[in-house]
Amino acid sequence: MKKILITRKLIKDSEEKASKTFEPIFNSNDELYSQSKVVDMSSGCDGILTSLTDKMDKETINKLPDTIKIISNFAVGFGNIDLDAAKKKGIIVTNTPEVLSDATAEIGILLILGACRRAAEGIESAREGGWKWSADYLIGKQLTGTRLGILGMGRIGQKIARIAKSLGMVIHYHNRSKLSDDREDGAIYHDNIKSLFSVSDVLSICCPATKETENMINKETVEYFPKGAIITNVARGDIIEDEALIDALNRRKIYAVGLDVYKNEPNLNPGYLKVKTAFILPHLGSATKDTRIAMANLAVDNIDEFFKTGNCKNKVN
């Protein structure tokens, strides 16, 4: 039986599955291991099942024992892992795509609604009590007829587009390539971000974090948006240059944000906490029981597939 280090606590169903498949080392206290502890605990192991909270940079990967042949990331993203360093060391890296698309798209819609309808301010006012109704009390932006720009029209982006269209939003998108007509479902394609941003009353960021998309929302590109636009992010925090977006919020160039992901999670930029129109969540994209079980089970299956076949369909490097 292969010996596997599982760096974070999983839901019971998935830990039971891992026990039937491998000789696992569990993290029963759900401790956030340091990079050096991950290296130490992986001694004698054949693979590691990591989480987004594990920073598997070049230095950490180079220190891993030569017995490690696979890093199975418990996430659709893999920005926490240096793919090139892993490849050079002969370690394959896998992710868990598809199984979290529905749950993440639901949070994407929640971010749009929460930011447009000033939910954060409304919750605070309701908790304080004693609010006084008036015709202009917490007036927000209605979704019907609003132009929604989707940055990254993959599985999650397409699901958000379908739901948003049912709410009366007009869908625009930018992707690495234009989708077929049936997958577009009436959405309008833009071949560059300036064109997309300029028509986005609301933007939903759904693209992966890459060298090309890092800080795509920055001091220059926030000026492309219509005044009073709303930006939401259900993808990765690295896509936003925080100081530029916070400045745009304070200047009212950007009306509101809806964020579920941040740079340096869980230590989000404190500037967002000072903005009343910031609707912020603690990375809940995949946070349903069914989805988290499906993700962990797929991460386990990825390791099993690799050791049985020498490859894995969810390999990302």
Question: Which amino acids are annotated catalytic?
Answer: 236, 265, 283
CA-nearest of 60, 66, 70 to 5 is 70
Written as six digits, the tokens of 77 are 């993203």
Of 251, 252, 240, the C-alpha closest to 280 is 240
CA distance 231 to 255: 8
Which helix (H) or strand (E) element contains residue 147?
strand 147-151
| Nearest CA-CA partner of 77 in 57, 92, 94 | 94
Closest residue by Cα to residue 189 from 206, 204, 172:
172
Q: What are phi and psi of 167, to 5 degrees?
A: -90, 5
Which residues have a Cβ under 8 Å from the Cβ of 113 and sit 6 or more positions away? 119, 143
Residue tagged 């060391």 (tokens) = 89
Return d(Cα 180, Cα 185) in angstroms, integer: 9
Indicate the DSSP class of residue 105. Answer: H
Distance, in Å, from the CA atom of 308 to the CA atom of 2, rounded to the nearest integer, reads 11
Q: Which contacts (CB < 8 Å, 24+ apart) does range 157-164 have? A: 157/204, 157/206, 157/207, 158/183, 158/185, 159/101, 159/102, 159/105, 159/108, 160/105, 160/108, 160/109, 160/112, 160/204, 160/206, 160/234, 161/185, 161/187, 163/105, 163/109, 164/109, 164/112, 164/204
